[in-house]
Amino acid sequence: MSDAQQIAHRYIAAWNETDADRRAALLGETWADDALYIDPMGRAAGRAEIGSMIGAVQQRFPGFRFTLIRPADGYGDHVRFAWSLGPVGAEAPIEGSDVVILDGGRIARVIGFLDKLPQAA
């Protein structure tokens, strides 16, 4: 598995971890202390805020899981990957892509994009 793929898998694992303590441990293993996360829905600075943001997403979409939808790639300290968010065993209504910037092998910055959202009723 490539470094880019490993980083993407660890990233997705943190977003899928529902236990706050285990999620904090995952973030501590792979994210920089002062990591910054930005997407169209919000911004979080530091692992504690990022962990809280993940918890809020899980509360908003109970039972949904993140999944990588194609292999991650990257070069240097940059990794990009695409993901989906939806119920297990069903078509995911949400898709996005993220660009990660590493610092010393740890996730330092994430810029997230929402590529597919549910149609408003």
Instruction: Please check whether the domain covering 3-116 is classified as CATH 3.40.50.10860.
Output: no
How far apart are alpha carbons 54 and 68 in whole angstroms?
17
| Lowest-confidence segment of 8-17, 58-67, 112-121 by average pLDDT | 112-121
80 and 99 Cβ atoms separated by less than 8 Å: yes
Q: Return the pLDDT at 119.
A: 80
Query: pLDDT tens digit string along 22-78?
Result: 999 999 999 999 999 999 999 999 999 999 999 999 999 999 999 999 999 999 999
Q: What is the largest CA-CA distance in the chain?
A: 45
Q: Return the pLDDT at 3.
A: 93
Residue ranges covered by each domain of the chain? 3-116
CA dihedral 78, 82, 87, 91 (to 10 degrees): 180
81 and 97 Cβ atoms separated by less than 8 Å: yes
Q: Which amino acid is at 45?
A: A
Query: pLDDT tens digit string along 66-86?
Result: 999 999 999 999 999 999 999
Q: Return the ∠ at Cα 113 (arms to 108 and 117), rounded to 5°.
A: 145
Q: Return the pLDDT at 75.
A: 94
- Burial (Cβ within 10 Å: 0-12, 13-18, ≥19) of residue 23: buried
40 and 53 Cβ atoms separated by less than 8 Å: no
Q: Which of 68, 79, 120 is nearest to 102 (CA)?
A: 79
* pLDDT at residue 121 greater than cutoff 70: no
